[in-house]
């Protein structure tokens, strides 16, 4: 009886731990022995309209804001009128509060002229942001409702596994964010991580 109770408790703990892991989008830290001497802290995107970008990354995709400030030069300037330069900087996180964050930076003084709109296929110099998620269908509909350009609606695809002996099954989708950055939003279907 004690063994059965202990087994039941162990099973419940295992299932609870699995539920916590499943609630993330396949995020897992690298083992201490495999760590290297550098972290990718943040990718910062220069944007035209901070609120439009926040609607996409925060409201549609579900990232959490961790920093939101106006930075002026000189730092003693109290407002934009007395500043030489001014920008708003926002950081958003997924499942880590230190690495892999997205920064959004909008210059407000002087206003920066956007690059010409991109059309066609990706080419050298472009970036691709890749997000893993749970609940892709809901996030896709929220992003689409914002009016951003959809490149590919959700559909199943496969990638070679890391050992090259199998495949990773993924529901793939892609957008251009409000500033034309290419964004993949994917849901791993078979529980295999997209990274090691």
Extents of the domains making up the chain: 40-112, 125-196
Predicted local confidence at residue 192, as pLDDT: 53
pTM: 0.79
Q: How confident is the model at residue 25 (pLDDT cuts 50, 70, 90)?
A: low
* Right CATH for 40-112 from 2.40.160.20, 3.10.310.50, 3.10.180.10, 3.20.20.140: 3.10.180.10
Domains 40-112 and 125-196 equal at CATH topology level: yes
Query: What 8-state DSSP symbol labels residue 55?
Result: I
Q: How confident is the model at residue 9 (pLDDT cuts 50, 70, 90)?
A: very low
> Where is pLDDT greater, at 11 or 195?
195
Q: Which residues of 9-18 are buried (b: 16+ CB within 10 A; e: fewer)?
A: eeeeeeeeee
Long-range contacts of range 156-160, CB-CB < 8 Å, 24 or more positions apart?
156/189, 159/194
The mean per-residue pLDDT over the stretch 50-74 comes to 97
Predicted local confidence at residue 120, as pLDDT: 74
pLDDT at residue 184 tops 60 = yes
* pLDDT above 90: percentage of residues in the chain: 63
Predicted local confidence at residue 147, as pLDDT: 92
Predicted local confidence at residue 149, as pLDDT: 92
Tell me the pLDDT tens digit for each residue of 141-169.
999 999 999 999 999 999 998 888 999 99
* Burial class of residue 169 (count of CB atoms within 10 Å of its CB; 0-12, 13-18, 19+): middle
Query: What is the overall mean pLDDT for the chain?
Result: 84
Tell me the pLDDT tens digit for each residue of 66-121.
999 999 999 999 999 999 999 999 999 999 888 889 999 999 999 998 887 766 78
Q: How many Å is the maximal CA-CA distance in the chain?
A: 76
* Right CATH for 125-196 from 3.10.180.10, 3.80.10.10, 1.20.120.430, 3.30.565.10: 3.10.180.10
CA 58 from centroid of its chain's CA atoms: 9
pLDDT at residue 4 tops 80 = no
């Amino acid at each position: 009886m004690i063994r059965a109770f202990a087994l039941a408790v162990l099973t419940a703990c295992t299932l609870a731990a699995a539920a916590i892991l499943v609630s993330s989008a396949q995020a897992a830290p690298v083992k201490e022995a495999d760590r290297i001497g550098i972290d990718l802290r943040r990718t910062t995107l220069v944007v035209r309209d901070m609120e439009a970008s926040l609607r996409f990354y925060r409201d549609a995709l579900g990232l959490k804001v961790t920093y939101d400030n106006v930075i002026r030069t000189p730092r003693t300037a109290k407002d934009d009128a007395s500043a030489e330069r001014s920008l708003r900087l926002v950081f958003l996180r997924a499942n880590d509060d230190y690495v892999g964050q997205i920064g959004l930076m909008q210059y407000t003084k002087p206003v920066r002229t956007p690059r010409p709109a991109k059309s066609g296929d990706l080419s050298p110099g472009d970036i691709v942001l890749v997000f893993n998620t749970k609940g892709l269908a809901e996030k896709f509909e929220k992003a689409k409702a914002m009016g951003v350009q959809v490149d590919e609606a959700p559909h199943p695809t496969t990638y070679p596994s890391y050992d090259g002996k199998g495949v990773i099954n993924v529901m793939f989708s892609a957008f251009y964010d409000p500033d034309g950055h290419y964004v993949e939003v994917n849901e791993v279907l078979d529980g295999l991580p997209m990274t090691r």
